[in-house]
Amino acid sequence: MNAGGFTFGGAAYFAGGQHCADLPNCTQTADSDTVERFDAAAGTWRSAAEKLPAPAAYLSCVSLDAAVVCAAPPSYFVWRGPGTPWRAVKQSIHRIEFGFAPVGGRWAVFAGGEAQPDDHSKAAGERVDVYDAATGAWDSGTFALSSAKKKLACGGAGGVALCGGGFDASGHGGYMDTVDVFNLTAGTRTAGPKLRSKRMFLGGGGAAHTVVIAGGLNAPDKAAGFDVDVYDARAGTMQRANVTTTCGAHRYFLTSATAADRWIFFGPGMGGKGPPATLDIDMYDTATDFMYHGGAAGPGGMPLMTAMFANGAAAGNCTYWANGGARALNYHAVANQAQAYCVSGC
């Protein structure tokens, strides 16, 4: 459980995570360095030849055209495909609760977060690390957020990364609705239109020219957890083409995966104490600017979704979800499950 999901060469992978260290009781867990690949033709999972440089769980992975970058503080793990080794790179600062996104298939962006161990420094909350798969180089000095924040979300569209929302990392400003837009080609940052509500633990994703920021938490206003913000990278505006665009359920701790290059899946997240979590997922069509609700995979929906937020990976027209973010060991019963949700691509 708690593996990182990513896509490479049209295949879905899950890396690291935790496994039972005392079978069959499973009262203790240990981190793993293994990587598994889904064989779509056979419908089975198999171990990849290359292992992570070190055992790790709770990975945040960014899928690029020529590389994959997974963040597992205090390191980044970089992989350039089958036959090449994973390489560990020390992060500019050990951080948690950061935003991350692929941009243009070339760049991996990691933004904000909280410095660990907690020294009340704003360094992690403002710093942005960028990996360029075309050159293999890291840049930790060109970009920075306009203010220190953690628990934010980022999405990429074209050559632009948008990072928004979150919680003030200095501990004084509370929930945030501010947005930073980074042009990776020009090396510039501008202030984007604010989100429609202040919230943290949001989900972010992008396809074509569109970045979507969805869900989140803003106590005590639970209604904000339904909000969806859509950014048009061509116009530089936060569009409201579909005025009814909301999540189908209150979701936070969101993850996403994109299938068919135009669908963004948000979910499953965890519902708060009210309303409860859901078996359904939401998907946003970037071609028509419309949010679809209630997509449930198979009889009874997707049972992983009510227990924890899953990590997603995509291959072709399908997304694959493996359990992650377990809050207690009593979730170990689903520690080896993965579920698929496919779209028609029409």
319: CB partners within 8 A, 6+ apart: 12, 257, 258, 259, 265, 312, 313, 340, 341, 342
Write down the residue that tokens 């920021």 correspond to. Answer: 213
Q: Which two tokens stand for residue 309?
A: 């937020």
Q: Would you list the domain boundaries of the chain?
A: 193-346
Strand 68-72 to 75-79 pairing: antiparallel
Buried b (16+ CB within 10 A) or exposed e, 139-153: beeebbbebbbbbbb
CB 72 within 8 A of CB 96: no
pLDDT for the residue numbered 243? 44
CB 258 within 8 A of CB 210: no
- Alpha-carbon span 321 to 257, nearest angstrom: 9
- Alpha-carbon span 253 to 216, nearest angstrom: 7
pLDDT for the residue numbered 28? 79
pLDDT for the residue numbered 37? 94
- Alpha-carbon span 198 to 19, nearest angstrom: 37
- Alpha-carbon span 107 to 91, nearest angstrom: 16
What sign does the dihedral 240-242-243-246 (CA atoms) show? negative
Tell me: the pLDDT tens digits for 249-276?
667 667 788 887 777 777 655 545 555 5
Tell me: the pLDDT tens digits for 159-207?
999 999 999 987 778 999 999 999 999 999 999 999 988 999 888 988 8
Q: Which two tokens stand for residue 311?
A: 């990590």
Q: What fold does the segment set 193-346 form as a domain? A: Neuraminidase (2.120.10)
Task: Give, as one character, the DSSP assignment of residue 85.
Answer: -
Terminal C-alpha separation, the chain:
33
What sign does the dihedral 333-338-340-341 (CA atoms) show? positive
Q: Which two tokens stand for residue 331?
A: 């979730």
Q: Which residues of the chain have pLDDT under 70?
A: 117-123, 219-220, 240-245, 248-250, 252-253, 267-280, 294-310, 323-336, 345-346
pLDDT for the residue numbered 284? 84
pLDDT for the residue numbered 152? 95
Q: Is 45 exposed, middle or buried (0-12, 13-18, 19+ CB in 10 A)?
A: middle
CB 215 within 8 A of CB 166: no
Q: Is 119 exposed, middle or buried (0-12, 13-18, 19+ CB in 10 A)?
A: exposed
Q: Degrees (nearest 5) of the Cα angle 30, 34, 36? A: 125
pLDDT for the residue numbered 156? 94
**β-strand partners of 270:** 252
How many H helices and E strands in the chain? 2, 33
